[in-house]
Structure 1
Amino acid sequence: MKTKHWQRGGNARLAFTELGFGSAPLGNLYRAISDDDADAVLAESWNSGCRYFDSAPLYGLGLSETRLNRFLRGKPRDEYLLSTKVGRILEVCAPEERTGIGKFFDTPTRRERYDYSYDGVMRSFEASLERLGVDHVDILYVHDLDLFTHGSQAALDPKREEFMRSGYSALVSLRDQKVISAFGGGLNESEASQWLAERGDFDLFLLAGRYTLLEQAALETFLPLCQQRGIGIVLGGPYNSGILAAGPKAGAFFNYSEAPQTVIKRVARIEAVCQRHGVRLIEAALKFPLMHPSVVSVIPGGQSVAEVRSNRSILNVEIPTALWDDLKGQGLMRPDAPTVAGKAAA
């Protein structure tokens, strides 16, 4: 598997495998999997060459981190990159108060409490180190400071202010002490990511979707800013929650919800172009974001060995340039989207 090396200023040089592992599925996202199945998925990912693993307290209310602990415990710490997130404190609660009911299954009985303060960041980080069983992580992301998560500008603004006034300095301190090598934001929106990038010294952003075969608005201002400042992008959700993998069918998921007809129709048009060029939709979807020079890794996740194998096999697929040209010609892709690996479009 190819590796992309990233370094910003005097910070540590990090080696990202172009395919990372997003561990939300290990937190029993949408369905429960056994510990044995989780181990098998992680083993397949490791054996495929993946050496970048991302987690968060939210994923299974700590379950994802503890499952990573068990698997990574025997691996040399200098052979992989590990990231997790801050912004939530997990608290013991009554079963009916558990966070993520209907989204995460068979998890510890915990509820989330947002805390973007200095102390909250430090408490969250310390708890993650315990669950992960490590003494440091490579990258720490502030999690979900976006409208998608908090629902309204009125709810988001105080949390942003708390983070920039207090929690941000905790991340700077941890990086200065070399307890972490880099910090950034793990968010669902490019606009929210740009808001942070314009106000702080962020190294990387884990952008969930928002730069995919289906969505490229991030090319307007956010990705050019990242190129200018040397900010790396880890791209989560390259399949837009499923529709770019499963295809344009009723019930397909788009950005965590059932896809509307307008999205299904657009995906159907994209898929038709792919078929004309002998390419599967899922192949074009995974390969597309890797061509942007700021993208250091794509993390589609995987809840089964078969899914991990499928993602890995796609990396070997050659996509004809004519496919991208055809999509642009039909208005199904932005004309400025990079379609040559590592190079920005003119």
Structure 2
Amino acid sequence: MKNILQKKQLGFGTAPLGNMFRNIPEEEALATVDAAWENGVRYFDSAPFYGAGLAELRLGEALAKRPRDEYVLSTKVGRIILDELEDPTLRDLGEKGGLFEYGRKNKLHVDYSEDGTLRSIEDSLKRLQTDRLDIVYVHDIAQDFYGDEWLSHFESARKGAFRALTRLREEGVITSWGLGVNRVEPIEIAMALDEAQPDAFLMAGRYSLLDHDRALQRVMPNAAKMNAKIIAGGPYSSGVLAGGTHFEYQKASPEIMAKVDRIKAIANRHNISVKAAALQFVLANPAVAAVIPGASRPDRITEDVAAMNEVIPAAFWQEMREQKLVAQDAPLPI
């Protein structure tokens, strides 16, 4: 990736600012971005999907007072926000079971075409109050959103968004582009395409303490070969590794909760936080350029920064490996 994210870093994923799971007061959302900045965070990621533009609007307002050259900004394409509002009496909770039920009520239109990509970027620039984007990801072309039809959406993106973003990169309009997905299969296919040549992959939830085997074997080695960076989203696995009850954006199963309890028990024995283990495990992989946990309260940012700096004894990782809670060949921060 050209000239950005050269140093491993803690970034900020702004999905929660789109009122994910709860109605977040405006002042709290803006204060969270300010807290990230004051704690040294300089990479911010957003998307039109997050609250139908709400996260981008809030991020744009908060960053408008900051020097544009001092931070890296990414957003995503694949959905156009319409002026038309949903009828609340007929409203379906929508994708991911109402993930952004408390977001703006504008309808979203799926569009991975070239024209749709260019329109999405233009709209995002306005909401983000900026004249340029550093990274643009093609969003959610995977099974979790489109089921058996996901490959047709991938093909639409290959013919539309991929080519448009490649051209914009060549023209210097954007610095980098890639995929932003919750599954590894689209990344594997994109890596095998001769014409695609993406620079980065935002992989949410697929390289974490709870789930990393396939990414470790199928994604990381190929990313290194093609000099593409991995941005790890969802390091807390939708919150279950940070004291929450969600995994994969749904209520965590008893099996997942049991695995989390095992990790917590080991962390307690070594007097460390699970948050620290989750963040530092992700960044230990050489392919990972940044980890971007989400936050909706200023104090969560402070916790993330503290977790990055927490000292974790090698004995913790040894026990995690002995208990088969991390893969035998996974790079560890020791």
TM-score range, shorter chain: over 0.9
Q: Deviations over 1:203-234 (max 9, x none)?
A: 01111011111111211111111111111111
| Aligned sequence identity (%) | 40
Alpha-carbon contact 1:17-1:52 (below 8 Å) kept: no
Q: Give CA-to-partner distance per residue, 1:2-29, whole Å, 9 cap, x none.
A: xxxxx4xxx3444556110111111111
1:112 match: secondary structure: strand
**CA-CA distance at 1:110 after TM superposition:** 1.1
Deviation at 1:106, TM superposition (A): 4.3
For the residue of structure 2 that corresponds to 1:31, the secondary structure is: coil
Q: Does 1:79 align with 2:73?
A: no
* 1:172 matched residue in structure 2: 166
Q: TM-score, normalised by structure 1?
A: 0.90
The alignment partner of 1:41 has SS state of helix
Contact 1:321 1:339 in 2 (8 A): no
Over the aligned positions, Cα root-mean-square deviation in angstroms equals: 1.7
Match of 1:4 in 2: none
Q: 1:268 is matched with which residue?
A: 261
Pairs within 5 Å for 1:1-346: 7=1, 11-15=2-6, 18-91=9-82, 92-96=84-88, 97=91, 99=94, 102-152=98-148, 155-199=149-193, 200-217=196-213, 218-246=215-243, 252-340=245-333
After superposition, what is the alpha-carbon deviation per residue over 1:90-135, rounded to whole angstroms, capped at 9, x for unaligned? 1123333475684324433211111111111111111111111111
**191-200 vs 121-130, which moves further:** 191-200
Greater mean deviation of Cα atoms: 268-277 or 45-54: 268-277
Q: 1:106 and 1:268, CA in 2 relative to 1: closer, same or farther beyond 3 A?
A: closer
Check the 8 A contact 1:17/1:51 in 2, yes or no. Answer: no
Please give the alpha-carbon distance, in whole angstroms, between the structure 2 residues aligned to 1:84 and 1:288: 25
Q: CA deviation at 1:62?
A: 0.7
TM-score calculated relative to the size of structure 2:
0.93
Q: Which runs of 5+ in 2 are unaligned?
A: none
Cα distance in 1, alignment partners of residues 327 and 102 from structure 2:
42
Cα distance, 1:280 vs. partner? 1.9
Q: Give yes or no for contact 1:21–1:302 (8 Å, CA) kept in 2.
A: yes
What one-letter code is carried by the residue in structure 1 that aligns with 2:135? I
Question: Which stretch shifts more, 67-76 or 46-55?
Answer: 67-76
Q: 1:50 to 1:13 in 2, by over 3 A?
A: closer
4+ residue segments displaced more than 3 Å: 11-17, 97-102
Structure 1, unaligned runs of 5 or more:
1-6, 342-346
* Distance apart, 1:340 and its partner CA: 3.4
Q: Which has the higher contact order (CA 8 A, sep 6+)?
A: 2
Aligned to 1:344: none
Secondary structure of the equivalent of 1:221?
Answer: helix
Question: Separation in 1 of the partners of 2:55 and 2:100?
Answer: 11
Count of residue pairs brought into register by the alignment: 326
